[in-house]
Amino acid sequence: TMNVSDSFKDPELCKKLLEQLHEELDSPLRFMEVCGTHTVAIFQSGLRPLLPKEIVHLSGPGCPVCVTHESEVAAFLDLAGKDNVILATFGDLMRVPGPKGRNLKLAKAEGARIEIVYSPLDALKLAQENPNDTVVFLGVGFETTAPTIAASIQMAKQQNLTNFKVLSFHKLVPPALKVLLEDPDCAVDAFLLPGHVSTILGMEPYHFVAERYNTPGVITGFDPVDILESLLIMVEQRKNGKASIVNQYKRAVSDSGNAKAREIMFSVFNIAEAQWRGVGTIPESGLVIKDEYEEFDALKALDITLTDVPQTPGCKCGEVLKGKMQPSDCPLFAKGCTPAKPVGPCMVSTEGSCAAYFKYQVTA
């Protein structure tokens, strides 16, 4: 078992904050962390069992692999079957199940040319090294990764590297929060807002959460002290009855975000609708490549269309991502679905809630 006190960055301060939290809490609080890194941080720190039991921890939609729709995986597999195409992808997409449970790992075993890369620059290099092939980078991720991918498209244009393409299935976080909040059965009382995505966005895109839905949101770091401080802010806001967006993570996130990164992102991408696993189509929640850069758009260059792919049978990832179900309540959890044999993407990614529950053996 984990030694809880060892994993605290400042055990004394954590203890104080926890006591304060127990004292201040006067009604149940269901908080959702939007980002998978927080899910893991909360488990890893050992914080979860120490929280007052009236504080319910929900996992949110913020694991990029988890929200990759079945039809998007179908498009990856479609591309993997084409001649003279090399796919370049981050490793965590390899095992994400698509139609009939097929994934990129299987396609690779069957002979598809798929390279795992650590940055889009590696994919650019692949394109340079393979001038007779088309290298397609699978663009999956949120506002955190999209600016880097945009920069790689700009570089490809400068270098006239036209055998480099990007399949952009990037997604934007704030529109997903809006969908959760619009749901009449919304289960979320407050949001722990993502640290990394917010370094790009700053506070502005979240204000509607507090203003329109009277729901607190705190941009939070990844240490236990960060999380406890943020929970206290939420509890205080609820007591005062006045919700606002707070930046608790000022040491890493500027209130105004990173304007330069946003500028690069929006010089290459337009905002468009996108499909989210288990949630469906969300307007203005995705990024498509602008006409100006269309020669680098895999959708256009390789004639890829998204087809209707039914939801993976039995998988409750959508309910989990919306905070309506705990992973352990999914009938397949730890039975038909394990990290070794994942049925849904939430069990694949290390940032996925189902994988975190499995690893930390949360059964109820």
**Residue 238 CA to its chain's centroid (Å):** 27
Instruction: State the minimum distance, in angstroms, from the CB of residue 39 to ligand SF4.
Output: 13
Question: What distance in Å separates the CA atoms of residue 32 and residue 358, rounded to the nearest whole number?
Answer: 19
Question: What distance in Å separates the CA atoms of residue 330 and residue 181, rounded to the nearest whole number?
Answer: 23
Instruction: State the minimum distance, in angstroms, from the CB of residue 141 to ligand SF4.
Output: 20
Residue with CB nearest ligand SF4? Answer: 344
Nearest CB to ligand SF4, comparing residues 32 and 315: 315
Nearest CB to ligand SF4, comparing residues 142 and 358: 358
Longest dimension (CA), the chain: 66
**Residue 106 CA to its chain's centroid (Å):** 24
Instruction: State the minimum distance, in angstroms, from the CB of residue 130 to ligand SF4.
Output: 35
Nearest CB to ligand SF4, comparing residues 241 and 310: 310
Contact of 11 with 5, CB cutoff 8 Å: yes
Instruction: State the minimum distance, in angstroms, from the CB of residue 336 to ligand SF4.
Output: 7
Instruction: State the minimum distance, in angstroms, from the CB of residue 328 to ligand SF4.
Output: 8
Instruction: State the minimum distance, in angstroms, from the CB of residue 344 to ligand SF4.
Output: 3
Nearest CB to ligand SF4, comparing residues 117 and 346: 346
Contact of 343 with 312, CB cutoff 8 Å: yes
Nearest CB to ligand SF4, comparing residues 195 and 327: 327
Instruction: State the minimum distance, in angstroms, from the CB of residue 190 to ligand SF4.
Output: 24
Torsion from C-alpha of 45, 187, 56, 232, nearest 10 degrees: 80
Nearest CB to ligand SF4, comparing residues 224 and 327: 327
Q: Within 10 Å of residue 17's Cβ, how many Cβ atoms?
A: 18
Instruction: State the minimum distance, in angstroms, from the CB of residue 353 to ligand SF4.
Output: 7
Q: Which helix (H) or strand (E) holds 283?
A: strand 280-289
Q: Which residues bind ligand SF4 (CB under 6 A)?
A: 314-317, 320, 327, 330, 332-333, 337, 342-344, 346-347, 354
Question: What distance in Å separates the CA atoms of residue 80 and residue 87, rounded to the nearest whole number?
Answer: 7
Q: How far is CA 222 from CA 39, 150, 192, 199, 359, in A?
A: 10, 27, 11, 13, 19
Instruction: Return the structure tokens found at 209.
Output: 């959460």
Nearest CB to ligand SF4, comparing residues 258 and 353: 353
Question: What distance in Å separates the CA atoms of residue 196 and residue 199, rounded to the nearest whole number?
Answer: 5
Contact of 343 with 104, CB cutoff 8 Å: no
Nearest CB to ligand SF4, comparing residues 31 and 358: 358
Question: What distance in Å separates the CA atoms of residue 206 and residue 244, rounded to the nearest whole number?
Answer: 9
